[in-house]
Amino acid sequence: MRCLVVADLHYSLPQFDWLLAAAPQFDLVIFAGDALDVGSFVDFRAQIVVVKKYLSLLSGITKVILCSGNHDLDERSAEGEKIARWIGDVRELGIACDGDRIEIGDTLFTVCPWWDGPSVKQGLEEQLRADSARRGQRWIWVHHAPPANSPTSWGGKRFFGDVDLVQWITHYQPEMVISGHVHQSPFITDGSWYDRLGDTWVFNSGLQPGRPPVYIVLDIDEAKAFWLPAGDARYIDLTAPLKRPALPIVQPPPWLISLDQIADPILAKPPTAAG
């Protein structure tokens, strides 16, 4: 199984176009939150309409997992907590989203919501407890915020990660946690796109403007993780101990060569709110 991992596209339509073009190369696309951008001049409701259209097209190409991030929150729950209600609507497209579990082969994926208060947090804790009894050979979490005190959450002056996530990882020891949220971590001193907490690999692709987005590829069968920012290409061996720095890619695999050839959006006209 080969998984394409992105996060923090923040309503960048050229990056969504690239994602559609790249998707046929992968068995699964994992979108680790922040599809929308609360700072955009585009109306939030219009962003949701457009992103849903992209997700509909994407789900027609390959399997998709989407978790909410802090920029995706569009409503408040009955308890007054911010939630991404619109993300639940994409479930009808066959997309696994907040609160879902999906089994692909011998791998169980748990899709975690962004939590803004005790109610959603309690639901997530119950979700992890229930899924722990169903874990297969691998258990992978999709959780927008990376763990606290990890290079994947280092912002240059302090860590921006989730303290509770560290405790959950310590307790359950999933094979991987896929995150985003802290844009600069992979690009700055003492930051990184990968880390290991006990037996758990943690990833954060980071954010770069333009097309394509920075992305990670998890080749489960080959036990390798690739990080592809602009102008660079690195990988780690998932069966080896944690080592830094990651290794340069000397012989690009065929899928990477194919992705490098994607130049223009595959859509003649990107989706718009008007249709």
Residue 231 confidence (pLDDT)? 87
Residue 76 confidence (pLDDT)? 95
Longest dimension (CA), the chain: 53
Strand partners, 52: none
Sequence spans of domains, the chain: 2-260
Cα separation, 86 vs 22, in Å, equals 25
Q: At what angle do helices 13-22 and 44-59 cross, to 10 degrees?
A: 10
Residue 262 confidence (pLDDT)? 76
What would be the CATH architecture of the domain defined by 2-260? Answer: 4-Layer Sandwich (3.60)
Written as tens digits, the pLDDT of the chain (275 aa) is 999 999 999 999 999 999 999 999 999 999 999 999 999 999 999 999 999 999 999 999 999 999 999 999 999 999 999 999 999 999 999 999 999 999 999 999 999 999 989 999 999 999 999 999 999 899 999 999 999 999 999 999 999 999 999 999 999 999 999 999 999 999 999 999 999 999 999 999 999 999 999 999 999 999 999 999 998 999 999 999 999 999 999 999 999 999 988 754 443 344 444 44
Task: Give the predicted TM-score (pTM) of the model.
Answer: 0.94
Residue 271 confidence (pLDDT)? 47
Cα separation, 43 vs 37, in Å, equals 10
In sequence order, the 6+-apart residues with CB closer than 8 A to the CB of 206 are 8, 180, 182, 183, 184, 185, 186, 187, 193, 214, 229
In terms of phi and psi (left: phi > 0; alpha: psi -120 to 50; beta: otherwise), the region of 262 is: beta
Residue 270 confidence (pLDDT)? 45
Tell me how far CA of residue 263 lies from CA of 19, 117, 227, in angstroms: 12, 42, 19
Cα separation, 84 vs 71, in Å, equals 9
